[in-house]
A and B are shown apart, each in its own frame.
Chain A
Amino acid sequence: MTTTLTSPASSSPIDLEGKGQPIVDKTFRWILFLCLAVGVVFLAVLLVYVTIKGWPRLTPTLWENMPSIRRPEQAGAQSAITGTLWVIGFTALFALPVGFLGAVYMEEYANPTSRFTRFVEINIQNLAAVPSIVYGILGLAIFARALALGQTVITAGLTLALLVLPVIIVSTREALRAVPQNIRHGSLALGATLWQTTWRQTMPAAVPGMATGTILALSRAIGEAAPLLLLGAVTFISFNPTGPFSAYTTLPIQIYNWTKESREEFQILASATIVLLLVILLAMNAVAILIRNRTQKRW
């Protein structure tokens, strides 16, 4: 183990580190490494386990067939796949414009020292940590009952939109903050208004960061199950949604329903559906990372 005076991360031929007790120090390093390894090994075991268990059912029937209680060996998850697409489509439709515009207000327009701005900021931070089931209660009381939207695709979309809104606002603000002030000043100096500057200069420069944050937020919404339990997604659905006021189910809810069944065939089916869900999420994550790496701009 070597350490230098200036930077603990780089190594140098001159060993300036105190001698101490070498065995204790080495053991400590190993313990830290093991702490990290637990998480990584757990992830690997989980992925291998669900893949092996779900392998026999990872066939086209998984997305071609509808769920069935009587014949698990024939059942598929098509209604859950289309349901997820519908719900996430509405989530994006509501959450993206509101999230982007809200972030622009907070970052470009609001007075950062005002009490109101700080209040909104703390509020967003708190909302990001509110348990997702509480959003389910909100959706049940406000969207499903008070606004009488019922247990439909649109209720689920609105509820998940509120759930991921803090994530979108925070990541969009970070993306906007990374755009150098010179660009804003240059635009304003040429006589552009604040909105012209924001719309034509700042926001286009922030698009990659906004895209990355958006993908991560939507992938969180795709995997979310708890609030939808309160919003009618658990009922047995063997048809594809036909519109915003249609009944629906989603992939995580379908997995939950199959997990509750005692027969082994359903557990295999659940594993196969988990693999499908994870492949979708990992693909989204990969795209997000790709965008981040491809477009990293040096100002």
Chain B
Amino acid sequence: MSTALAESAAGGLNPLRQTKPRYGEKVIRVILFAAAAVSILTTFGIVISVLIPSLEFFSEIPLTEFLFTTTWTPLFANPQYGVLPLIMGTMVITVIAIAIAIPLGLGSAIYLSEYAKPKARKVLKPTLEVLAGIPTVVFGFFALEFITELVLKPIFPQIDIFNALSAGIVMGIMIIPTIASLSEDAMAAVPGGLRDGAYALGATKRQVALRVVVPAALSGIVAAFVLGISRAIGETMIVTIAAGLQPNMTLNPLEGMQTMTSYIAAAGAGDVATGSIEYKSIFAVGMLLFIITFFMNMISIRLVRKYRQAYQ
């Protein structure tokens, strides 16, 4: 008799005892566990692969120089590794993207959740999902060839061919589906009773949407924003193609600039000798990127749990 086996095999669902020990079940359980553990190994692998070369990098370049100086010239004869221009580029493009994606994404979510008729929803929602499925290299091509050439150049004749504005605009559109669908999930979780109560007090639909549904779903909506920002910071192809590869400490969106991601992409795609300081700099920037997005993802995950607990 193996009571422990029967209990574990039945997952607590089956109170009846088995008569034969089943070793196969135990083996299968271990295999399944190993498959689930791959995800932990992945995180572990990411941390190890950025950490070790980064530590070597920081033994040569002081952390303070990396974080607080403003010249990034790894390819020069006298290379300097001040990461601030890359952070600045990431920030400018992220701000443009978010300025577009947050209002449009939230507006779309409110419309889909509160206003759209079921038939219209059935068409509009999958359309947004298609937008989310377009490869980022296609968005990058479109930013460079269409947005810069045919839309922005006529308005700002002095604009650089590679510029932050076109990359930011297209990235903003790319993030709309992320923000819209997560916000809509949160609004759908708001109990109908809250809406009914507001209507009973004579509220209009707009008042119900803005003063009842949005506040009630706020933690989920903020989670969507944070995840959207995290995606903007981590996006690579659009900025690599459309924003140029020149580190540039500026706030002018009409100029080209390099981001953390496009530096990693450009340096990693070139012929960099393994073990050189330039090779290690890819990992140092990668570590910074991973840490920033990790914290944003954690905030977002926590906020989603919060609204799920509140309404379920």
| CB <8 Å contact, B173 and A42 | yes
| CB <8 Å contact, A137 and B236 | no
- From B230, which residue of chain A is reached at the shortest CB distance? A129
Q: Does B76 contact A (CB under 8 A)?
A: no
Interface size of B as a range: 35 or more
- From A260, which residue of chain B is reached at the shortest CB distance? B241
Which of chain B's residues have a CB closer than 8 A to the CB of A145? 274
| CB <8 Å contact, A234 and B269 | yes
A1-37: CB near B (< 8 Å → 1, else 0) gives 1011111110000001111100011001101111110
| CB <8 Å contact, B235 and A188 | no
B-binding segment of A56-64, A117-125, A205-213, A240-248: A117-125
Which of chain A's residues have a CB closer than 8 A to the CB of B289? 131, 133-134
| CB <8 Å contact, A31 and B39 | no
Tally the A-B contacts, defined by beta carbons under 8 Å: 313
- From B176, which residue of chain A is reached at the shortest CB distance? A39
Assembled-state Cα–Cα distance A29/B176 (Å): 18
| CB <8 Å contact, B231 and A129 | yes
In whole Å, how far is B176's beta carbon from the nearest beta carbon of chain A? 5
In whole Å, how far is B300's beta carbon from the nearest beta carbon of chain A? 7
Within the complex, which residue of B32, B52, B53, B261 is in contact with A101, where a contact is CB–CB below 8 Å?
B32
Q: Does B153 contact A (CB under 8 A)?
A: no
Assembled-state Cα–Cα distance A256/B140 (Å): 9
Contact A102 B134, CB 8 Å, known A8-B205, A18-B203, A225-B237: no
- From B298, which residue of chain A is reached at the shortest CB distance? A126
Within the complex, which residue of B38, B127, B237, B290 is in contact with A40, where a contact is CB–CB below 8 Å?
B127
| CB <8 Å contact, A188 and B36 | no
| CB <8 Å contact, B13 and A188 | yes
Which of chain A's residues have a CB closer than 8 A to the CB of B25? 193-195
- From B125, which residue of chain A is reached at the shortest CB distance? A36
In whole Å, how far is A8's beta carbon from the nearest beta carbon of chain B? 6
Chosen A-B contacts, 8 in total, with CB atoms closer than 8 Å, are: A20-B203, A36-B111, A102-B36, A106-B36, A131-B289, A133-B261, A194-B13, A256-B240
On A, residues with C-beta under 8 Å from B are 1, 3-9, 16-20, 24-25, 28-29, 31-36, 38-40, 42-43, 45-46, 49-50, 53, 97-102, 104-106, 108-110, 120, 122-127, 129-138, 140-142, 145, 162, 165-166, 169, 184-185, 188-189, 191, 193-195, 216, 219-220, 222-226, 229-230, 234, 252-253, 255-256, 259-260, 267, 270-271, 274, 277-278, 281-282, 285, 289
On B, residues with C-beta under 8 Å from A are 9-11, 13-14, 16, 18, 22, 24-25, 28-29, 31-33, 35-40, 42-43, 45-46, 48-50, 52-53, 103-108, 110-112, 114-115, 117-118, 124, 126-131, 133-138, 140-142, 144-146, 173, 176-177, 180, 192, 195-196, 199-208, 227, 230-231, 233-237, 240-241, 261, 264-265, 268-269, 274, 282-283, 286, 289-290, 293-294, 297-298, 300-301
